[in-house]
Amino acid sequence: MTALVATASAVVGLAAGPFLALLADRVPERKPLTGHGLRSPGMAPITAAAVVLFAAIGARFGADWAVPAFLVFAGALLVVTVTDLRLFLIPNRIVYPTLAAATVLLTAAAGASGDWDALRRSVVGGLGAWAAMLVLHLVNPRGMAFGDVRLAAVIGAFTGWLGYGHVFLGLFLGFVAAAGVGLVLIVTRRRTAKDPVPFGPFLAVGAMAAVLFGDALLRWYRGT
């Protein structure tokens, strides 16, 4: 069954990829999603990434009611990664609909599975991640944009479904990835310490790592 879900998820990724590329291209500039054809910059790599990520989500969860929610999550992370890399922008028009989708789809998953504890963790995780990043934003607004704070709420909601440890792990890995890449860029003189670096892609990487590998990483950390 897991292989079937992974294959079906990959097919969904193949179908969704062009639309995700369209969102990444047109949403930041408030262009209409219809008209002018469906071609958009980066369609091929975004579609390929969607296929891989969606298949990985399907393989991770198998026949689980939460799969649709996490496919939406993966797609949203792809879009904000592209927009932040291109424009230093995490669009509200992506973040807020993703939060709405999380509310609907995760509530439906909790109702279907009877796992209301997971839904409670999702709410607490989203609020907790948002609050933690808000503090960092207030301390250093130039170093932590408010778009990152909003994205953290989305990440906390989805990783919280899996466990509070996954929330911490997702954010922690995002910071580690950002620090590592930033250090390399400074050492190679491609950036200075004062140059801005988009943080959203690192949060996205940390979040997906927590979703896909969090169970194994947390077991390793706890020595179990």
pLDDT above 90 for 115: yes
So where are the chain's domains?
A: 2-222
DSSP line for 132-177: HHHHHHHH-TTTS-HHHHHHHHHHHHHHHHH-HHHHHHHHHHHHHH
Q: Which pLDDT value is given to residue 219?
A: 93
Exposed (0-12), middle (13-18) or buried (19+): which is 18, by Cβ within 10 Å? Answer: middle
Q: Which pLDDT value is given to residue 183?
A: 85
| Section 43-62 average pLDDT | 96
pLDDT above 60 for 146: yes
Range among 17-26, 40-49, 115-124 with highest mean pLDDT value: 115-124
pLDDT above 80 for 141: yes
State the pTM of this model. 0.93
| Section 157-182 average pLDDT | 96
Q: Which pLDDT value is given to residue 38?
A: 60
